[in-house]
Amino acid sequence: MTTSDGAQPMTEPMTESMTMVAALNAGLRAVLEDNPRTLLMGEDIATLGGVFRVTDGLAKDFGERRVIDTPLAEAGIVGTAIGLAMSGYVPIVEIQFDGFVYPAFDQIVTQLAKHHYRSGGDTQLPIVIRIPFGGGIGAVEHHSESPEAYFVHTPGLRVWSPADAQQAYTGIQAAVACPDPIIFLEPKRRYWDKASVVLARPTPAELDQMWTSRTLRTGTDVTLVAYGPMVRTCVEAAESMTQQGISATVIDLRSLSPLDLDPVFASVRQTGRCVMVHEAVETVGLGAEISARISEECFFSLEAPVLRVGAPHVPYPPSRFERHYLPNIDRVTAAVRQVMAL
């Protein structure tokens, strides 16, 4: 069908309500369709579709040479992906659970992160390592960890985390389009949260924008900074605090390395107060770096110290105790009341 002047009519992109799992599946499908050099690797991702079914149906549609069930050997998976990337492929690796990434840590931090620098810029390794991370699902030991600080601390890696289904759909495509190695942290407690997703191929500008922070709501009293699973918690905390007459800005970092803190600095200069929230242990966590940067950049605007809300410095507890371990709305609002009192 054409218009009266012969031009093709504009069509609205399809929008669908879906979970983060479904959005990731759709994003992976898009990159497999668009680039024949992309392939998926991981434990049980082909026949089973992965533990969380993120890759469900992709082996059927793209074949076992592009959706590959690997042995239970994380170091071998990442090492093989590095060799494939050197040969011109774009591997997307799934680590089944966050606590399982440590056997591959040597490959990631000594090979993957450093090879571009070691080669004098001659060789790039466009590898995406997908890791379900964080708690909140009642899992057993080694299935609910937050290892992001290890990777953010490692030069040569990009680290990124979606907070909702739309971010997951666009973000996985931005990660695959990037020539750098990327740790893609998927908040497993948000896997089943639904949201409206625009199922359109992102433009180059939209892909670039995924490496910046985004402001979800604007307030005048305090700035809440979070990423991944804690973004929704902060939004809900901000909404609940409006009844107490407290107006909060909520900023989703998205990119953890590199950090885009300019929106955070701008907000803190207006509010004078900031609370940094993450599931990871507070001690030497990402919140410590961000708090220091805010103190350096916004010292004369701060009305109170930057407070952190995170996990205590103990191993992740058995599932029946995790609600006492993880940050929640009450802990976020308590921190806000504390900075408001100063």
Other CB atoms closer than 10 Å to residue 125's CB: what's the count? 23
Q: Please give the pLDDT value at position 110.
A: 96
Q: Please give the pLDDT value at position 5.
A: 55
Distance, in Å, from the CA atom of 310 to the CA atom of 106, rounded to the nearest integer, reads: 27
Task: Name the residue ranges covered by the structural domains of the chain.
Answer: 15-209, 214-340
For 15-209, which CATH superfamily applies? Thiamin diphosphate (ThDP)-binding fold, Pyr/PP domains (3.40.50.970)
Cβ distance 195 to 17 under 8 Å?
yes
Q: Give the pair of three-digit tokens for residue 64.
A: 């076992």
* Active-site residue, selected from the candidate residues 115, 116, 142, 143: 143
CATH class, range 214-340: alpha beta
Distance, in Å, from the CA atom of 173 to the CA atom of 27, rounded to the nearest integer, reads: 6
Distance, in Å, from the CA atom of 4 to the CA atom of 14, rounded to the nearest integer, reads: 25
Q: Please give the pLDDT value at position 9.
A: 55
| Per-residue pLDDT tens listing for the chain (342 residues) | 444 555 555 567 899 999 999 999 999 999 999 999 999 999 999 999 999 999 999 999 999 999 999 999 999 999 999 999 999 999 999 999 999 999 999 999 999 999 999 999 999 999 999 999 999 999 999 999 999 999 999 999 999 999 999 999 999 999 999 999 999 999 999 999 999 999 999 999 999 999 999 999 999 999 999 999 999 999 999 999 999 999 999 999 999 999 999 999 999 999 999 999 999 999 999 999 999 999 999 999 999 999 999 999 999 999 999 999 999 999 999 999 999 998
Indicate the pTM of the whole model. 0.95
Locus of tokens 């992976």: 28
Q: Give the pair of three-digit tokens for residue 306.
A: 């930057």
Residue 103's region, left for phi above 0, alpha for psi from -120 to 50, else beta, is alpha
Catalytic (active site) residue 143: yes
Does this chain's domain 15-209 share its CATH topology with 214-340? yes
Distance, in Å, from the CA atom of 105 to the CA atom of 99, rounded to the nearest integer, reads: 11
Q: Please give the pLDDT value at position 197.
A: 97
- Alpha-helical segments (H) within the chain: 20-34, 58-62, 74-86, 105-106, 115-118, 148-152, 165-177, 204-209, 230-241, 262-271, 286-297, 322-325, 329-340
Q: Please give the pLDDT value at position 7.
A: 56
